[in-house]
Amino acid sequence: MAEAERYGFVRLHAKEGEEAAVEEALREVMAASRQEAGCLDFHIFRSIRDRRLFFIHSKWKSDEAFAEHGKLAHTLRFLGRVDALVDQPRETARTERIG
């Protein structure tokens, strides 16, 4: 049986004045994450209505690939950096596709 692909969603709301720093951190983690063997897709988004609101959508080969991503140096560095730049708790969801 083939492993099930997994999808990650992350919601980040930047502190006022930290939008550019959050975007820079997102671009860096996106570039590094896309190089991971288990990463099938990784995109970042910014809200049109709230310019401080950002999202990550990622697609992974398996639960194991997604779990490994969370342990890598570039991911840990990103989390430490971005958590200091947001004014709301980071929201993360690991999901499976149902349709």
pLDDT tens digit sequence for 71-84:
999 999 999 999 99
CATH number for the domain including 62? 3.30.70.100
Q: What is the pTM of this model?
A: 0.93
In a domain, 53, yes or no: yes
In a domain, 44, yes or no: yes
Domain extent at residue 86:
6-95
In a domain, 71, yes or no: yes
DSSP per-residue string spanning the chain: -PPPPEEEEEEEEBPTT-HHHHHHHHHHHHHHHTTSTTEEEEEEEE-SS-TTEEEEEEEESSHHHHHHHTTSHHHHHHHHHHHTTBSS--EEEEE----
pLDDT tens digit sequence for 17-69:
999 999 999 999 999 999 999 999 999 999 999 999 999 999 999 999 999 99
In a domain, 1, yes or no: no
Give the model's confidence band at 1: pLDDT under 50 very low, under 70 low, under 90 confident, else very high: very low
- In the chain, the number of structural domains is 1
